Structure 1
């Protein structure tokens, strides 16, 4: 049998290319394949359902708990001399009695938590309790010095902390889950030699683009579902004020997450293409995973530190968490999200270009791990 000539091979290659799908069609076919494989996975559907239920339950439980805490009152016995001082305090159920002995009897019978009686101390009152004095009552009746706050907090510190956790967990969870999916898919196709069949029909960059777009669609769908669940939960629990404050930050979070995930997805695919076994994925994707975990840790530890949040809001890997947090607490000017988004877009383009080069040069190299320098060389 004769060996095909160069002209024959060129003709065959030309025929193959002419039959190959156009780039947009090829990208959509790969993206559709990625989306379909995930939606057919029971594990993915069940885990997503559990995530949404946990998010809804957390918001509802937190809302009702805050309502109950706000509406909880303390029964207190008073006399005519102390009634005015205690009645002015919030969350106090006042029972006025005629004498100190009657007030003490109510305390001993545990019908009230404490009694406030006339006293000789600086405050002019004495708190009588059965075993332990209620801290909130003692604090409310204590004489405190005048306090002047130079930079008052714009949000409730506890709410700020939980919002920081929410943004951090959602970003880290979605990015790690779908980034890991891309990495596993790339290595699985290399390990089973399926990638050779795919590359005979479509270019490597088309394959990469389809994978990134498919998983981005799934990740954004999960983000939108979580946002809808959060909205429903806040409305059900009557936290419309919190919802109005969170509206713009959530929208910006979705925008920043979209481009931030595309950046990370391209890097995950490139890193995974450098190895040929599932066991070796961690050796190349661990640095990217650390980049995902860093914003989660930083936003929780430094959610009340304006300097750290400002730096985070301009670093591409942490901007999807840092900038929405600054918008939520009112520390960002109107132009800052736009500038941060421009920086993120530029970083995204650079990451896609570098990732595509590594992916294209490493995809058909089997065996030992491809070194980064070799992958970057044409």
Structure 2
């Protein structure tokens, strides 16, 4: 708790804000639920990387029964299971020991016949087919699947941080109102300084957690030999960090302000739902339309989706050098404006106990 020892002891606003931020950080770090959830999140990240590595390393060849091994010579991706007769090959297919069987048959034009159980063996047919030469007009383009994974990765990191720490700061504000601790805090700290300290403290916690996740991902990908993706991400990750910092401060300010509008934990959802929607809708829009250049371009300039959409465009190589600067400028201006609005809501609502403060009252000039 922040206290003053004498009327003559006056700390600067910056120092007081840091004290409030320190209080927020230490309180959260002492929470077992926060530490456990962070540990689980790190384990999930590491587990996902290991699972991906194991899955890629253990991809099995297609098992095929064959009466003459020479029929499949030189074809990669097939594990030939030699048999002596066609009947034996058919029995292996029925038992599920092999996906299909390739047997010699002089009555066909190709001299072979494929035996399968209930469905045509598409994987085997693809391996046996002769593929004509393929000319790629844009060989350096990012594959659609990889683009989706990158969009999902950026999106889930920003979304998880926002939905983890955003409601946390709102709950902290309401808890202080319920217990009347806020009245003691305001005796020593101006309202705006208290607001700033809470936002800064929560932001530091979010950045710290994201840094741990990034470190875990880097180590995991490097150890499992999947570090090629890290090289490809490069500048996109750096820009994501910058956008994340500015964007998260904006969201933290909004959650703190809307949390101050209620006096009970049960009522938090009534005021924070609009902010939650502003996080969720752009997130899903970027994920679902990651392969639509027009939508992603528009979303890269919308403040609530820019932290995901613009780094994605940089990874895909579809953004000009000046576009991330313009997008970041729009995000920064929006953040400053929303912080100003958040401060007004916070000041008008913090000491009002009982019924929920209306938006009109919260936004009115003091």
Normalised by the shorter chain, which TM-score bucket?
0.7 to 0.9
Matched with 1:55 is 45
2:29 to 20, 29, 39: 39
Q: What TM-score does the superposition give when structure 1 sets the normalisation length?
A: 0.84
| Structure 1 Cα separation of the partners of residues 318 and 77 of structure 2 | 33
| Structure 1 Cα separation of the partners of residues 46 and 282 of structure 2 | 24
| Structure 2 Cα separation of the partners of residues 164 and 119 of structure 1 | 53
> For each residue in 1:81-111, what CA deviation from the matched residue of structure 2 results, as whole angstroms up to 9, or x when unmatched?
855xx62x4423468x9xxx95747735748
- Matches for 1:228-247 after TM superposition, within 5 Å: 228-247=215-234
Q: Which has the larger radius of gyration?
A: 1
| Structure 2 Cα separation of the partners of residues 238 and 119 of structure 1 | 47
Please report how far the alpha carbon of residue 192 of structure 1 lies from its aligned counterpart in structure 2 after TM superposition: 1.6
Matched with 2:256 is 269
- Matches for 1:23-38 after TM superposition, within 5 Å: 23-38=13-28
Q: CA RMSD in A?
A: 2.8
| Structure 1 Cα separation of the partners of residues 43 and 62 of structure 2 | 32
Answer whether contact 2:169 2:255 (CA < 8 A) is retained: yes
Matched, 1:181 2:168: yes
- Secondary structure (helix, strand or coil) at the match of 2:300 reads helix
| Structure 1 Cα separation of the partners of residues 310 and 256 of structure 2 | 26
The change in CA–CA distance for 1:106 and 1:246 in structure 2 (over 3 A counts) is: farther
The change in CA–CA distance for 1:369 and 1:116 in structure 2 (over 3 A counts) is: same
Q: What TM-score does the superposition give when structure 2 sets the normalisation length?
A: 0.86
Matched, 1:172 2:159: yes
Matched, 1:128 2:118: no
Please report how far the alpha carbon of residue 130 of structure 1 lies from its aligned counterpart in structure 2 after TM superposition: 4.9
1:92 to 66, 78, 85: 78
Gaps of 5+ in 1: 1-14
> For each residue in 1:26-60, what CA deviation from the matched residue of structure 2 results, as whole angstroms up to 9, or x when unmatched?
00100000000011011100110010011100011
| Structure 1 Cα separation of the partners of residues 122 and 103 of structure 2 | 13
| Structure 2 Cα separation of the partners of residues 253 and 331 of structure 1 | 16
1:368 to 355, 359, 364: 355
Matched, 1:138 2:128: no
> For each residue in 1:267-323, what CA deviation from the matched residue of structure 2 results, as whole angstroms up to 9, or x when unmatched?
111111111211111111001011111233223322222222112211111111112
Matched, 1:253 2:252: no
The change in CA–CA distance for 1:116 and 1:168 in structure 2 (over 3 A counts) is: farther
| Structure 2 Cα separation of the partners of residues 59 and 130 of structure 1 | 36
| Structure 2 Cα separation of the partners of residues 304 and 121 of structure 1 | 45
> For each residue in 1:138-196, what CA deviation from the matched residue of structure 2 results, as whole angstroms up to 9, or x when unmatched?
02334678877666783333333333332222211111111111101111111222111
2:203 to 216, 222, 231: 216
Matched with 1:335 is 322
| Structure 2 Cα separation of the partners of residues 330 and 118 of structure 1 | 52
Matched, 1:355 2:342: yes
1:107 to 62, 74, 89: 89
| Structure 1 Cα separation of the partners of residues 58 and 103 of structure 2 | 25
| Structure 1 Cα separation of the partners of residues 310 and 32 of structure 2 | 35
- Secondary structure (helix, strand or coil) at the match of 2:188 reads coil
Matched with 1:311 is 298
| Structure 1 Cα separation of the partners of residues 144 and 107 of structure 2 | 37
The change in CA–CA distance for 1:117 and 1:320 in structure 2 (over 3 A counts) is: farther
| Structure 1 Cα separation of the partners of residues 111 and 323 of structure 2 | 53
| Structure 1 Cα separation of the partners of residues 248 and 283 of structure 2 | 15
Answer whether contact 1:295 1:321 (CA < 8 A) is retained: no
